Amino acid sequence: MELDEKKYLYLLIILPLIVLVFLANLYWKRKKQRDFGDLEMVKKLSPESSVFKPVLKLVVLVLAFLGLIIALVNPKIGTKMETVKREGIDIVFAMDVSKSMLAEDVAPNRLDKSKQIVSQIINQLGNDRIGIVAYAGSAFPLLPITTDYGVAKMFLQSMNTEMVSSQGTSLDDAIRLGITYFDQKSKTSKLLILISDGEDHSEDAQAAAEEANKAGLKIITISIGTEKGATIPLKRNGVVESFQKDNNNEVVITKMNRESLEAIAKATKGGYINGNNTKEVLEYIKATLDKIQKTEFESTEMADFQSQFQWFLGFAFLLLFVDVFLLEKKTKWVKKLDLFNENK
């Protein structure tokens, strides 16, 4: 049995308090009766008064409150036990959120296209663990390794180009941060999926890729955008106000650079694919994942617990209903039982 809300157990202190109040009230009544006159004479003046019925009402009330407290605690009984083994790999998505990802040479824009691709990749995963890194001029961890795909998608949809203050595209920072996501002692297969337009503004991407290879990490790179390039619209409330300009006040044309992404993938014996066709990307990722050895990374005893609070709640309400009709006067069957020798 499992208790779902143990914090409500402290309410059990109410039960002895009810008993103490009852005893104090009983003592007060007896005292007043003595002050009024002889107890035997008082009994004769109120022949229908019962000693047993107040005690019975106390027991009913205590049991009713006990039932309510147990209902709040919500005991659960396990009806099914099974061992669940999870086999999969660890995957980290490194998402480019630099300003160049706002270019609309792919619909609706590079960043939204990246989100669509990653979301659909997650949809076709099984028991794999995933994490998310965001990067522009620097990288930062967005979501640690998890099996909660729902949370991952929520974080994914919240990504925007304002997340990283330093602009540019630092692929080496993204790769090095991605490496830290993985447990180097674990035998679980490790995969970094890096999505970018490839406009790298650092010079260490190749060195970072070699570090990843030494750490046993494969990298799949997905390019977003076109080699022809496009301008970077700056919008407010969905309306284009201007276009991104460089230091010379000239409109920037951002182009997809596949060479840098191919070199990163090659350094880790991974793979590269153009991301403009979502279906092709999904098929490529699926085929790649099928070839990677899956590792059992979790074995958990799972129990199917069912709540039992309703029985205790029903029992408590039944007793409270009975208590309403329990009067403190004697009844015929109680007189016959004479449990407290009241007929003497």
Residue of higher predicted confidence among 214 and 330: 214
pLDDT tens profile 191-247: 999 999 988 756 688 899 999 999 989 999 999 999 999 998 988 877 888 888 878
Local confidence band at 165 (pLDDT 50, 70, 90 cut-offs): confident
Q: Where are the domains of the chain?
A: 2-74+308-337, 85-299
pLDDT tens profile 80-97: 555 667 788 999 999 999
CATH of 85-299, one of 3.40.1390.10, 3.10.310.30, 3.40.50.410, 3.40.50.300: 3.40.50.410
Per the CB < 8 A criterion, the answer to whether 110 and 100 are in contact is yes
pTM value > 0.85: no
The mean pLDDT value for 36-55 works out to: 60
The mean pLDDT value for 133-148 works out to: 90
